[in-house]
Amino acid sequence: MLPVEIVLAGLRGLHLATLLSLFGTLVFVAAVAPPALAMAPDAGARLRRGLRRLGHWSVTLALVFGAAWFVVQAAAIGGTEGVGNTLAVLPVVALHTRFGQVVLLRAALLLVVVPLIGRADRVAAGLAGLALVLQGELGHAGAAVGAEGTDLLISETVHLLAAGAWLGSLVPLWRSLAILPPTAAALACRRFSPIGMAAVLLLGGTGLFQGLELIGSVPSLVGTDYGLAALTKLGLFGLMLVLAMYNRLSLTDRLAADGSPQARRRLGQSILAETVLALVLVAAAATLASLTPAVHEQPVWPFSWRPSLTVLTDPDLKQEVGNAVMLVGLGVAAVAASLIWRRGQIVAWIVLAVILVNRLPSLELLLVEAYPTSFYTSPTGFAASGIAQGQALFATHCASCHGATGDGPAAAGLRDHPADLTAAHLLEHADGDLFWWLAHGIEDPEGGMAMPGFADQLNEAQRWALIDFVRANNAGAAMRDEGQWPEPMRAPALPVVCTDPAIADMAALRRQVVEVIADSSTSPEPPAIPPQDGVRVVRLHLADGARRPDCTVETPDAWRAYAVLAGLRPEALAGTAFLVDPNGWLRAVRRAGDGPSWTDPALLIAEVRQICEHPISTPAGDDHEHHHP
């Protein structure tokens, strides 16, 4: 993080901590403290005054830290330096940005809360809660759009209120323990427990939901800054939960039973430790809000091995792994039974250890070598321009060794025969592994290099383009030799020109079947297909300018990319037609001369219905495209 980002994260965290303190204090005064205060009127009056001061300090500091955050953020938004320039940009940011408008609204709410503290605590708590949940508008939830954004915002609202009710009440609870008599203090702790337990459940549930939306996978959890910050936050949450359970199930009962100074001191120390952890947790949350969500980052895998189920495609190895898993399961069951019945525990642990030692080699079959980039995914959107660029790069850097099927002119002089990049097993390799091999090369078993790395010759964008071509070419070879693609293939992303100006690329044609026709002046006129069962068939032409009906593509890259996927030379592509399903997958192809032709409307309608009845799902967030000019 840059220095200004660290300052912004710090101010965000301090502002959030004071908002949590304000809301938690008011919740404690309104919902937790009254019975305990009634038990000890004199001590209760003293505590009431102290909590009122805490509320005023919280709202004051929230305004101060909020103002400081606004000024620094406004300067960052405006890109200004110097006091005069920053002052000039403040009104613009305040009135014309979402950030400024939310900050102003929150400041107004906090100013209204000030005179209500100690006079109308329930109303003040409601307004403080509203000011707190506005924090969601200033984070990743507020930046998301559509249904995902709405769900995240609702989750963040619940998350913030639960955090305020639990974390913000810790200081008032600690003060109650110091001021109230033991019986009244124990009552306050017990009345706080249901609120704390409900808050923990809500925090856990909403945190899991946000983690799935913003992190998405284990590699992103352990391989990105956002994921590591989330792990830190999760660890702090776990420690706080352990302390909270210890406080409620042990120390509170001990205080109620004997009321000794020692019991009071231990409970106070534990609550104070929980409060310190809460402050660190808030700092972690502020850091998270300042980082790019993990789902938008390439995760760097930190381990040398990764799990893989590829071995299960081999029947013999599948049985070996299955037997190992079954035996380990029996060993674990034996240990669990010994713990339940409190008999034979030593024997059960020995049996499990023997099973693990003997079956570990079989379980290791579920692991394969990994690289830091193993979980990278291609950022290109499988763009037609990338495939065409990759084709040119392949001819320059790869064809001399790999040729068409691993038999390039330079292959004969190599100790290790180059890989056949049209073999079916190529598609089993992850994008990230291919990216690593392209950058760093592949070692042979004797310690040499079976393939050199190209990191010094190809930049990242070129490497991804090369990977796109290799995958498309592999699919095209299968289509040429076997008449089908070996696995579902994405329709290449490309810009289009349509009669509807709102349609600018293939992504805009999602949710309908698209017919892609490699058009020429001599290819037959495609049939006019009426909507069938709500399906709109759009004719997308890769044209030479002779005919432009609904949509056309005017870039030669598209022609070359679709020729690669069809396993044809570019000059032989004319007349070939592809069908793209509503989720953007290539589902069928008819080449010129194939029969029966889709120029028969009945055959095309039947194919469309077949595609729509057997959809291929679209991964979450995979609804955009990338093009290169």
DSSP per position, 517-574: EE--TTSPPPP----BTTBPPEEEEE--SS--SSEEE--HHHHHHHHHHHT--GGG-T
Whole-angstrom CA distances from 66 to 62, 114, 158, 561 are 6, 15, 22, 53
Looking from the CA of 188 toward its CB, the CA atoms found within 13 Å total: 31
Q: Is the dihedral of CA 320, 325, 331, 334 positive or negative?
A: negative
Q: How many Å apart are CA 86 and CA 79, to the nearest integer?
A: 9
β-pairing, 551-553 with 538-542?
Answer: parallel
In this model, does residue 620 exceed pLDDT 60? no
Same domain, 70 and 159: yes
In 291-314, which residue ranges form alpha helices assigned H by DSSP?
A: none
Query: Are 217 and 160 within one domain?
Result: yes
Give pLDDT, residue 199: 95
pLDDT at residue 530 is higher than 60:
no
CA distance 133 to 8: 19
Q: Is residue 625 part of a domain?
A: no
pLDDT for 41 equals: 92
Q: In terms of domains, do 342 and 247 share one?
A: no
Q: Are 125 and 60 within one domain?
A: yes
Question: pLDDT tens for residues 87-100?
Answer: 888 999 999 899 99
Predicted pLDDT of residue 124: 96
Give yes or no: residues 530 and 428 share one domain: no
Q: What is residue 393's predicted lDDT score, i.e. its pLDDT?
A: 94
- Domain-terminating residue out of 482, 503, 534: 482
Q: How far apart are CA 191 and CA 27, in angstroms?
A: 12
Lowest-confidence segment of 103-112, 476-485, 523-532 by average pLDDT: 523-532
Q: What pTM does this model have?
A: 0.83
Which CATH number goes with the domain that contains 409?
1.10.760.10
Q: Is residue 623 part of a domain?
A: no
CB 451 within 8 A of CB 436: no
C-alpha–C-alpha distance, residues 411 and 393, integer Å = 18
> At residue 545, does pLDDT exceed 90?
no
Residues 455 and 546 grouped into a single domain: no
Q: What is the pLDDT of residue 626?
A: 43
* End residue of a domain, out of 369, 396, 418: 369
Pair 444, 592 in one domain: no
What pLDDT was estimated at residue 627?
45
Phi, psi for residue 298 in degrees, rounded to 5: -85, 120
Residue 554 CA: distances (Å) to CA of 50, 468, 507, 550, 626: 73, 21, 17, 13, 17
The secondary element (H helix, E strand) that includes residue 319 is helix 315-341
Same domain? For 392 and 457 the reply is yes
Domain residues for the domain of 309 are 305-369
Do the domain assignments include residue 626?
A: no
The stretch 289-313 carries a mean pLDDT of: 90
pLDDT tens profile 235-248:
999 999 999 999 98
For 589, the enclosing helix (H) or strand (E) is strand 585-590
CA 114 to the chain's CA centroid: 39
**Residue 621 falls inside a structural domain:** no
Residue 565 scores a pLDDT above 80: yes
Of 170-179, 305-314, 331-340, the least confident: 305-314
> Residue 515's pLDDT band (boundaries 50, 70, 90)?
confident
pLDDT-based confidence at residue 85 (cuts at 50, 70, 90): confident
pLDDT of residue 591: 81
Which CATH number is 576's domain given? 3.40.30.10
What does the pLDDT read at residue 238?
94
Same domain for 106 and 126?
yes
454 and 553 part of one domain? no
Which residues does residue 498 pair with via DSSP β-bridges, in sequence order? 551
627 within some domain = no
Q: pLDDT > 90: what percent of the chain?
A: 56
Of 465, 482, 499, the domain-final residue: 482
pLDDT at 624 over 70: no
Asked whether residue 105 is domain-assigned, the answer is: yes
H helix or E strand, kind and range, residue 306? strand 305-307
Please state the domain count of the chain. 4
Instruction: Look at residue 624 and tell me if it is in a domain.
Output: no
Asked whether residue 233 is domain-assigned, the answer is yes
Question: Given this model, what pLDDT does residue 598 score?
Answer: 74
Tokens 């990764």 found at = 306
> What is the pLDDT, as a whole number, of residue 466?
95
Strand 551-553 versus strand 442-443 pairing type: unpaired
* pLDDT for residue 540 is more than 90: no
pLDDT digits (tens, 9 = 90+) for 252-270: 988 888 888 899 999 999 9
Q: Is the pLDDT of residue 391 over 90?
A: yes
- For residues 291 and 168, state if they share a domain: yes
**Same domain as 396, residue 268:** no
Residues 123, 129, 130, 132, CA torsion sign: positive
What's the pLDDT tens digit per position in 570-619? 888 888 888 888 888 999 888 877 766 677 777 877 888 888 888 876 55
Average confidence score pLDDT of the chain: 87
Average pLDDT over every residue of 393-407: 86
More confident residue, 629 or 168: 168
Helices 41-78, 98-113: inter-axial angle, 10-degree rounding? 160
Q: Could you tell me the pLDDT band of residue 521, with boundaries at 50, 70 and 90? A: low
Longest dimension (CA), the chain: 99
